């Protein structure tokens, strides 16, 4: 059971990290190379689809890590689980207010304020990439040494 929990945690974290880094290095810069209106227009459905996937992966990864710790996998599984879980409150407290502003009815999708919000969103999303990257390095190191 320990190995299953470790595998699920590392896999979910790796998938989260890959998706988060892809968004930061490829998807968001590509949309930001367009006009503000186009960037905001394509950001909305992308955000809505990614939310379900990334939230689920963060929860699966942190749950698996806590379970691995409880099953005797060691304290570093708990540490990694906490780090990947931190993307959830960070998203709710820091990124969601920007999401709500970008999705507000009547928002002028051509405005410089919208462009600034999209730029801030990208910077804050990079924090999610960093946190998940740290967690996946912990998990992969633990798997390698076990």
Please give the average per-residue pLDDT across 126-134, as a whole number.
98
Q: Where are the domains of the chain?
A: 2-145
pLDDT value of residue 35: 97
Please tell me what DSSP assigns to residue 146: -
Concatenating the DSSP letter of every residue in the chain gives -HHHHHHHHHHHHHHHHHHHHHIIIIIHHHHHTS-HHHHHHHHHHHHHHHHHHHHHHHHHHHHHHHHHIIIII-HHHHHHHHHHHTHHHHIIIIIHHHHHHHT-TT--TTSHHHHHHHHHHHHHHHHHHHHHHHHHHHHHHHHHH-
Q: Report the alpha-carbon distance of residue 22 to residue 80 in Å, rounded.
A: 21
pLDDT at 146 (0 to 100):
78
- Is pTM beyond 0.85? Reply is yes
Count CB-CB contacts under 10 A for residue 94: 14
Q: What is the mean pLDDT of residues 73-80?
A: 98
Tally of CB atoms within 10 A around 45? 9
Confidence grade of residue 91 (pLDDT, cut at 50, 70, 90): very high
% of the chain surpassing 70 pLDDT: 100
Residue 87 in contact with residue 128, Cβ under 8 Å? yes
Cβ atoms of residues 20 and 125 within 8 Å: yes
């Amino acid at each position: 059971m320990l190995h299953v929990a470790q595998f699920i945690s590392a896999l979910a974290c790796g998938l989260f990290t890959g998706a988060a880094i892809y968004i930061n290095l490829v998807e968001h810069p590509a949309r930001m190379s367009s006009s503000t209106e186009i960037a905001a227009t394509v950001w909305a459905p992308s955000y809505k689809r990614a939310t379900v996937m990334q939230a689920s992966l963060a929860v699966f990864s942190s749950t698996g890590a806590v379970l691995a710790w409880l099953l005797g996998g060691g304290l570093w599984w708990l540490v990694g689980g906490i780090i990947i879980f931190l993307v959830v409150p960070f998203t709710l407290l820091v990124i969601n207010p920007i999401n709500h502003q970008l999705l507000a009815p009547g928002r002028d999708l051509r405005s410089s304020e919208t462009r600034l919000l999209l730029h801030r969103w990208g910077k804050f999303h990079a924090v999610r990439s960093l946190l998940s990257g740290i967690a996946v390095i912990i998990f992969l190191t633990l798997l390698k040494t076990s």
